[in-house]
């Protein structure tokens, strides 16, 4: 039983870390977050926008926040970020929750 749990945890860890590596596609997501997001979002505390820890962990919900014009404070963000940037930021947010 313990061996099975250890295998599942290890598999989940490696699966998540490979997702982050593949999604980043050479993009430094931490630097991108710092330059494009940090003014409104922090890791732990709400600012003008929600804290990373309070954001949805669903990739599609996060992508929609970057690409929709319904989020008034983030209008035009999709014009400043490439698809690779968005993928990297989604992975960065998920890995920091």
Instruction: Give the residue extent of every domain in the chain.
Output: 2-95
| CATH superfamily, region 2-95 | Cytochrome c-like domain (1.10.760.10)
Give the predicted TM-score (pTM) of the model: 0.71
Compute CA distances 52 → 3, 4, 83, 89, whole Å.
Answer: 33, 31, 20, 11
For 29, residues 6+ apart whose C-beta sits below 8 A from its C-beta are 20, 88, 89, 91, 92
Half-sphere exposure of 29 (CA within 13 A, CB side): 20
Q: Using one digit for the tens of pLDDT, what is the confidence trace for 43-82?
A: 999 999 999 999 999 999 999 988 887 777 787 776 789 9
């Amino acid at each position: 039983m313990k061996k099975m749990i250890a295998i599942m945890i290890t598999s989940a860890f490696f699966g998540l870390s490979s997702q982050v590596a593949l999604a980043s596609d050479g993009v430094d997501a931490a630097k991108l977050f710092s330059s494009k997001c940090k003014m409104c979002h922090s890791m732990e505390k709400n600012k003008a926008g929600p804290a990373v820890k309070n954001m949805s962990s669903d990739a599609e919900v996060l992508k929609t926040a970057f690409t929709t014009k319904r989020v008034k404070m983030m209008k035009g963000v999709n014009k400043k970020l490439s698809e690779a940037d968005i993928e990297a930021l989604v992975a960065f947010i998920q890995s920091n929750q």
